[in-house]
Chains A and B, each alone.
Chain A
Amino acid sequence: MPQYLLSLIQPDGPMPAPEVLGPIMRDVAAVTERMHAAGAWVFSAGLHPAETATVVRPAGEDFLVTDGPYVEAKEHVGGFTIVEAEDLDAALAWGREVARATTLPVEVRPVASPGV
């Protein structure tokens, strides 16, 4: 079964207040539950803010370690889910559910080589 990466595009900055975040987290948990029930869920994770990221890049024989994130932007990937779906329409249906629950844009991208 093909897999898709659903990336949550989150604006940088402080987390929403608990009274805002609470219902969102409940909705997200419900979507994850539906993914489990449908046998579509493969993996998901929420990430710490982008300013906690560190970049390692090859520099000749050595490596250069710098403060991240890799791309300077006002929004970064804040979390992701991998789902199994038979085609893009099915993956987009999950994408819509995640977008509705989180109120954030979701990038849906096909996985080329699962498990590699």
Chain B
Amino acid sequence: MPDVRTPDVEAVFRESYGRAVAVLTRLLGDIDAAEEAVQDAFLTAVQRWPADGVPPSPAGWIVTTARNRAVDRLRRESTRTDRYRAAALLADPGPPPGEGAVRDDRLRMLFTCCHPALAPATRVALTLRLVGGLSTAEIAHAFLVPEATMAQRLVRAKTKIRDARIPYRVPAEADLPDRLAGVLAVVYLVYAEGHTASAGDRLVRTDLCAEAVRLAREVAGLMPDEPEVLGLLALVLLSESRRAARVAPDGSLVPLPEQDRSRWDADLIAEGQELVRRCLRRGAPGPYQVQAAIQAVHSDAATAADTDWRQVLALYDHLLALTPSPVVALNRAVAVAEVDGPAVALALVDALDLPRSHLLPAVRADLLRRLGRDAEAAEAYDAALALAGNARERAFLERRRAELAGAG
């Protein structure tokens, strides 16, 4: 299958691939056939647009052309069922579907890609491909796996969708909260992996962060009435606003208290904070909204010393009640250290069980360092270093360890 990418068509491709595949999947009842038809249409665009000019509605043109290509293909392949399907498609040529219909198709695609019957990593890859319009090569690159591996993962997923008949449908009201949580988890996973790559030399994978922001905007556009959707968008935007300040010119990690706040993106902060306020007015808090609110408190502080840690701690109390997990408890302990001192926080951290994560020993090391217990801090830094996979995070931990008085 050709991957259509030329400068002329690139922008339209990114904008319209997901839309066109979503519409065609409904018309053809099959994601593979839809992708093939849309690829055909882009191939035609590459041939025609340089001479004929870009049509007034490129996205609509792609859908119409893809539908015609699908009819041609069904006629050529012409088994009896295919001829019926071609006839059915021809009988209903109609104008390109309106915005409302496209929106419905995109929602169907989103929920299909994030169906719980698919493995989480597969949901992420499918969503990036079929909703985000990324190429297989781009997704493979983003997750540091060979392209052939990613291609196979996508093929298997589409085969399961077809053979197990995962429905192309927005879930019923009763199932929506659960299924929506699955969709939001996929967007959050893309952002989390971009924000701190779990492996590799770079701290931040800018491409994945940008993709997560785009997906979060997309999902918020599709479901503007879901507070948690807005909460996730706010969380992603507020985190993204600090990206430039979080990485030093040499690529090393700059922790929040040491960041140059003049380098934070004021537009993203304003947009994120406005979303947090909108969420507050809704009065239906959920985990993403509370996390966004925590980030909004940090964004309010002109300097690290100005941070309203009591507010942060109150929000973490709320978050821990909503999602009692060791990771949340660990982040809450960081806030406790600011409000009640590192000794109180250390007692909380020592009661937590979070195996295989470098985060717990890293927080412990920092608390011990602040308590002047350098020998124990050095041991904790070593424990964190043994578990950290990101080279920039490792460098940060090594630097902190080296700064300890009498560290050996």
Q: Which residues of A contact B (CB under 8 A)?
A: 2, 86-89, 92, 109-110, 112
Contacts and interface: CB of A to CB of B under 8 A. Distances in A.
Contacts of B164: 88, 109-110
B163 interface: yes
B117 interface: yes
B4 interface: no
Given A88-B117, A92-B117, A112 B167 contact: no
Most chain A beta-carbon contacts within 10 A, residue among B117, B165, B167, B171 = B165
Closest 7 A/B residue pairs (Cβ): A87-B167, A87-B165, A110-B164, A88-B164, A88-B166, A88-B165, A89-B167
Interface residues of B, number: 10
22 contacts: A2-B165, A86-B165, A87-B165, A87-B166, A87-B167, A88-B115, A88-B117, A88-B164, A88-B165, A88-B166, A88-B167, A89-B166, A89-B167, A89-B169, A89-B171, A89-B175, A92-B117, A109-B164, A110-B163, A110-B164, A110-B165, A112-B163
A109 B117 CA distance: 11
A112 B163 CA distance: 8
Nearest to B116: A92
A95 to B, nearest CB: 10
Contacts of B171: 89
Interface of B: 115, 117, 163-167, 169, 171, 175
A9 B115 CA distance: 23
Contacts of A2: 165
A87 B171 CA distance: 13
A71 to B, nearest CB: 22
A87 B115 CA distance: 13
A109 B164 CA distance: 7
A110 B164 CA distance: 5
Contacts of B163: 110, 112
Most chain B beta-carbon contacts within 10 A, residue among A86, A89, A112 = A89
A2 B164 CA distance: 9
A89 B179 CA distance: 12
Contacts of A112: 163
Contacts of B165: 2, 86-88, 110
Contacts of A87: 165-167
A77 to B, nearest CB: 19
B114 to A, nearest CB: 13
Nearest to B115: A88
A102 B175 CA distance: 23
A107 to B, nearest CB: 12
A63 B239 CA distance: 65
A86 B166 CA distance: 10
Nearest to A89: B167
A70 B166 CA distance: 30
B38 to A, nearest CB: 24
